[in-house]
Structure formats: C-alpha cells, structure tokens
Amino acid sequence: MIDPMISLAFAVYSNKGAYALLLGSGISRASGIPTGWEVILDLVRKVAKLEGENCEPDPADWFRNKHKAEPDYSKLLDEIAKSPTERQQLLRGYFEPTDDERSQGLKLPNAAHKAIAQLVVAGYLRVVITTNFDRLMEMALEEVGVAPTVISTTDQLSGALPLPHSGVTVIKLHGDYLDTRIKNTELELATYDKALDVMLDRIFDEYGLIVSGWSGAWDLALRAAFERCPNRRFTTFWTTRSPLSEVCKKLAEHRQAAVLQIKDANQLFEELRAKVQALRDMAAPHPLSAKMAAATVKRHLVDPSAKIRLRDLVHEETEKLFAEINAQAFAAQAQHQPAAELIKRVEKYEACCETLISIFVTGCYWGDPDACKLWVSSLQRIANPTDSGGGLVYLLKLRRYPALLLLYSAGLAAVAAGNYATLAAVLTKSKARDDQNKNEAICSVVYPIAVNEQDVWKMMPGLERRHTPVSDHLFKKSREPLREFLPRDEDYQDVFDRFEYLLGLAHADLNRWGAENGWWGPVGCFAWRGRRFDQGDRTAQKIGAEIVAEGVNWPLLKAGLFGGSLEQLNTAKAKFDAFLGCVHYF
C-alpha cells in the first residue's frame, strides 16, 4: 500500500493551489506557543496560587475537586477575564516572546511554518485557515517575501476580494491576539458570522484540506462547517500525532479523509515540502540532458561534416524553449501576489533554459566565428516573445529573462575564452524589439534592469539588500554552467565583471543616453565590488590599461565595435566611466 504521505505530496503537486490548510494550536507547539490545554493548566496554577493552595501534581484534577467542574478552556477564561479586552491582555504573554525567549528561538516561526511558506512561495498553497491567535504563519510568509491577505475580523472579511483573486490568504477564524474581538469562550465559538460561514462553505466545497494540529474540541462553529459540506472534490488529509478523538473521527469519516499518523507538524511539512520539491525536480529537464547537449555540441564543433547537425540541434532546442516560454503558463496575469509569482516564474524560466544555456556556454567558448550566426539567430528568437495581449508590467518585462540568461551565458563564455568576435556578435548582431517596436542591438534592449526594476528583484529571497539584485542573481545563477571552464571562483568573478562592464560600455556607445557627466549604461555588481576597498572601479581601470597598451588592436575594436574607431572607443569609455563615477552605493 502506498504511504499516505506520498499520496499527499502527489495531491499537492498535481493540484497546484487547490489545497487549503486548516491549522490548529498544535502547529505552533514547537515554537513554545502553548496549546489551549496548556493555557488551561497554567491558568489553573495561577488560580490555585491566588487561592493559597497547591494544585500539583495534577492541576486539572485539583480544579475538578475544588470547583466541581471540568477545567474548560472557554469557561475558565470567561470566569477569569470578563471582557474581551481583559482576555486579550491576559493571553498576550502566551504569544509574544520575551528577549530571552527570542534568543532561544521561542515563539517565532518554526520549521513547519517555514516549510509551509516555501510551498506558498512556489504556488502550491494559497489558503491557510487557522484557529490560532498568534502571527507565526504571517511572519514566516513575510520572511520569504509574501505579504498575505489576513482576515481576522468581520470587517476585513466584508472588504476582502474573492479567494481566487486575493493571492495568498490567511483566515484567522478566532481572531488575532492583538484584537480585542478574539473568540475564546464557548459562546463565542458556537457560531460564526454569516459571511464567514459562507466563505468556509466555499473553501470546504472547492478546496482539498490538509488538517494539522486541530483537536476540534471546542470549535463548534467550525465543526458545523465541516458537517454542512456535502461535496468532496478533493481529498481531505487529516494529520494527527495520536488516535483521533471521537469528535474528529466523525468529521474525518464525513469528509472521507485520509488519516496520516505523524510525529509532529515540523516533520510533516518539511517532508511534504521535500517530496513536492522532488516531484518538481523530476518534472524539470533532466540534468543529463544539458550535459549531453554540451557533449554533442563539442563533437559537432570539431567535425566539419557536422555543421548541419549542429544547426539542427540549436534550432530544435531554440524552438522548444520558444514554445515553452510563450505558453499560457507564462501569461502576464498573476495567480499569486507579486513576490510569490516572481519567484515561481524565475525558477520556471531557469529550468526551461538549462539545456540551451549549456549549448550556448559550450558553443561560445569553443566555437569559431562561423558558428556565431547560430548563437545570434537563437538569441534573437528568444529575445522576441510573441505578443502577450497585455498584462501586468512586471510580468511583461520578465518575459525577456530567458534572453538575458542566454545573453549572459554566451557573453561570459566568450570572454572566458577570449573569443571577442563571438562576444561582439551576440551583443550587437542579435536584434530585439524595443518599446517602440524597433529592432535594436540586443545589448540596447536586454540588460538587467530592463528585465525588471531593482525594487522588483529585491522581492527575491536573499536579494532584499543588494545594490544590484539582478546582477547578483545572475552572478550566482551563471556560476555552475561556467565551472568547467573557470574552476577558480576568482577567475569567474573577473570574467563576470569584465563581461558586465563591456555590456554597459557597448550599450553606452550605441545609445549615448545623457546621464550625470556621461552616458548611461547598465550597471552590474562590478561597480560596487570594485569600490569596496577604495580601489576605484578595478575592472574599468584594467580594461583602460589594455586599451592604452593595445590601441587599434584591442580585440573588440578589431571585432567591429565602436565603429572600429579608437577615438570613438575612448570617448565612449570616458563617458561611461564618468557616469559610473556618479553612481552611489555607500
């Protein structure tokens, strides 16, 4: 029999965005947030102390004997704190970390929250229902750049967009601990506002459910929502650390739920994230396909009789990539909030481009000038996507990202090999349509911030504080394809900085856009990296020294850039360097 965990992973992976989470207090237990029962025991201890009695070793049993009643969470809170405001203040200490707790990582997002956030970022989960008052789930989402729509009051519910249009949504059924309207007592938990019932009915009808950490003991209104739902479009997966209570067993049977025995929520969601990622990896192009393509290119380049086969290989992979990146999956309408959508699409674009990147790197490193037309033609094809029919600006700009990846792959390989004729060709002979639908040299149209503004790329994890986030991401992403040719990290950095400087210089010469004291050109991480130790722009200085030493024999001049004119080159360099000198990072 197949492990139910595998079934859960397949369900989440295959039905992207179709599953909602229902999280109870158990999800936050590993963070040191107490469950309802633990809050009860703590409150009982405090009551006993104020009454001058010792309730140990069994506070619950002491309460039964002393007060002739069960220590019920709702009733106990109602007795101790009469108003919602008083209950909020009483509960505050259970959810906010002290400095000491924070240093120990307590009352902060745990592994389960973080794994869920990763699944949300990847687009697999979009709706989180929780009975918890804490903000751990929201904090985990914010850490990965997702700002969810949070619904914790009737007011927020009435103003919320329908779920399919609201991006990632966290529904806090019982409120937020900082809001005085939190629901604690049995009376408050017996019914929900009609609008909330309607929303729950839709979710339970239209989504699959993953239940974790919820006991069902006091939540009468939530149990009623379960019982009202007649449909089961998707499977319900009910996870539990111990045998289900009679209440939960009946609900699980009503939903025909698959019950998963788990160790804890951390293990559950980390394992789910890993399994979904494994399925996603298997769906991506096999890593061997890129290696095989590179090996094939090498064989064809050294075989004069294989020119047609090389052309067919490049053409076939180009058309395959062109079809993939122009498919409906990359339409310029977002299904998620910007950060989540950006991360998801960047990863998908990168996976689609792996094979052609490998071909470009190998071909532009080893290829001779006769092969240039292959890289130029392929790059031009990818740089001109089909008419999208409109959409969100950041997604429209992102459609150039595959071309940017290929441009960097080709340019870095050509610089690494000293193959400047190839570099000149890919920078200027490939044409791309600009905003006025004119065909221009690709270096004038496809460059880092043309593929999206810096602030957009800063939504990517790890790029939030980068001076040049697109460039920094490309630096990291392009490392592995070049490792065969540049095994030393220091050499790779030198090549990367040189290529980005030359890209900016070529752009400045072709466009001559006025900027402060010079001509504007795209700026990469070479600009701030070179100034880190007050050494000036090291890459610019090194290239300047080469131009002085080689004059008209400087490789890119001989390849035809800058009109083949040393005077024009010196003017362009002076203007571009003047602009770079006015760029401030520190």
**Residue 406 burial (CB count, 10 A):** 29
CA distance 483 to 290: 14
Torsion of CA 107, 108, 110, 113, to 10 degrees: 110
Report the phi/psi class of residue 237: left, alpha or beta, with left for phi > 0 and alpha for psi in -120 to 50: beta
Count of CA atoms in the C-beta half-sphere (13 A) of 453: 4
Residue 435 makes CB contacts below 8 A (sequence gap 6+) with none
State how far the alpha carbon of 248 is from the alpha carbons of 77, 212, 218, 226, 321, in Å: 24, 12, 11, 10, 49
pLDDT value of residue 535: 42
Residue 97 is predicted with a pLDDT of: 86
Put simply, whether the predicted model's pTM sits higher than 0.85 gets the answer no
CA distances in angstroms from 456 to 354, 434, 464, 560, listed in the order given:
23, 20, 10, 36
β 514-515/518-519 pair status: antiparallel
Contact present, 563 and 502 (Cβ < 8 Å): no
| Helices of type H across 326-337 | none
Fold of 4-32+108-274: Rossmann fold (3.40.50)
Q: Which of 360, 353, 357 is nearest to 321 (CA)?
A: 353
pLDDT in tens, the chain (586 residues): 567 899 999 999 989 889 999 999 889 877 888 766 777 888 889 889 988 989 999 898 899 898 888 777 667 777 788 777 777 778 778 888 888 888 888 889 999 999 999 999 888 999 999 998 889 999 999 888 888 889 998 888 887 778 877 778 999 998 887 775 767 667 778 899 999 999 999 999 999 999 999 988 778 999 999 999 877 789 999 999 989 989 999 999 999 999 999 999 999 999 999 999 888 877 766 555 788 889 999 989 988 888 899 999 999 999 999 999 998 878 887 666 788 788 888 989 999 999 999 999 999 999 988 899 999 999 999 999 987 677 888 899 999 999 999 999 999 999 999 999 999 999 999 999 988 889 999 999 999 999 988 888 888 877 877 889 999 999 999 999 999 999 999 999 999 999 999 999 999 999 999 877 899 999 988 887 755 444 447 888 999 999 999 999 999 999 999 999 999 999 999 999 999 888 764 3
In this structure, what are the phi and psi dihedrals at residue 172, rounded to the nearest 5 degrees?
-100, 95
CA gap 148, 129 in Å, rounded:
12
Helix-strand-coil percent breakdown of the chain, rounded to 5?
60, 5, 30
Report pLDDT for 536.
44
48 contacts: CB under 8 Å, gap ≥ 6: 54, 55, 59, 62, 63, 66
* Cα–Cα distance measured from residue 213 to residue 217, given in angstroms and rounded to the nearest whole number: 12
Phi-psi region of 543 (alpha: psi -120 to 50; beta: other; left: phi over 0): alpha
- Give the three-state DSSP class for 459: coil
375 contacts 360 by C-beta, under 8 angstroms: yes
Closest-CA residue to 90 (of 136, 54, 43): 43
Distance between CA 280 and CA 91 in Å, rounded?
Answer: 41
Supply φ then ψ for residue 96, to 5 degrees: -100, 130
112, 122, 205 from 10: Cα distances, Å:
19, 15, 20
CB 137 within 8 A of CB 116: yes
Q: d(Cα 269, Cα 8) in Å, to the nearest integer?
A: 11
Amino acid 190: pLDDT: 86
**Strand arrangement, sheet containing 236-240:** 149-151, 169-172, 125-130, 19-23, 208-212, 236-240, 258-261
Q: What are phi and psi of 218, to 5 degrees?
A: -105, -10
pLDDT given for residue 508 in this prediction: 95
pLDDT score at 211: 96
Residue extents of the structural domains in the chain = 4-32+108-274, 36-103, 286-487, 489-586
Do residues 409 and 354 touch, judged by C-beta distance below 8 A? no
**How far is the C-alpha of 112 from the C-alpha of 123, rounded, in Å?**
17
pLDDT at 284: 64
